Amino acid sequence: MARGWESKAVEEQQAQAATPPDKIKPRLTPAERVLQAQRDGLLLSRKRLLQQLETTQNPRYREMLQAALADLDSRLAQLG
């Protein structure tokens, strides 16, 4: 028998209450959440570019990917 969402929510709350306070992530401000989302998106794009660099054999495409990777790295550095 499948459990309802209520029991899952209660179970999650109990697990969270049992977690030591130092293991709980601090709440982020809206501005911090935006920065985190941007950083996560850039890191995901960077990972995809690296995968494409590993498989491409076309020198022009490789140059374009390397330029895009350098741009992503500079944007990541600006975010901190």
Per-residue pLDDT at 48? 97
Q: Strand, helix or coil at 47? A: helix
Question: Residue 57's pLDDT is what?
Answer: 94
Q: Are 66 and 46 in contact (CB under 8 A)?
A: no
Determine the Cα–Cα distance for residues 7 and 65; give it in Å rounded to an integer.
48
- Domain ranges, ordered by start, for the chain: 29-80
First to last CA, the chain: 48
Tell me how many degrees the CA angle 20-35-13 measures, rounded to the nearest 5: 30
Mean pLDDT by 10 residues, the chain (80 residues): 64 74 75 93 97 96 97 93
Copy the structure tokens of residue 38: 């941007």
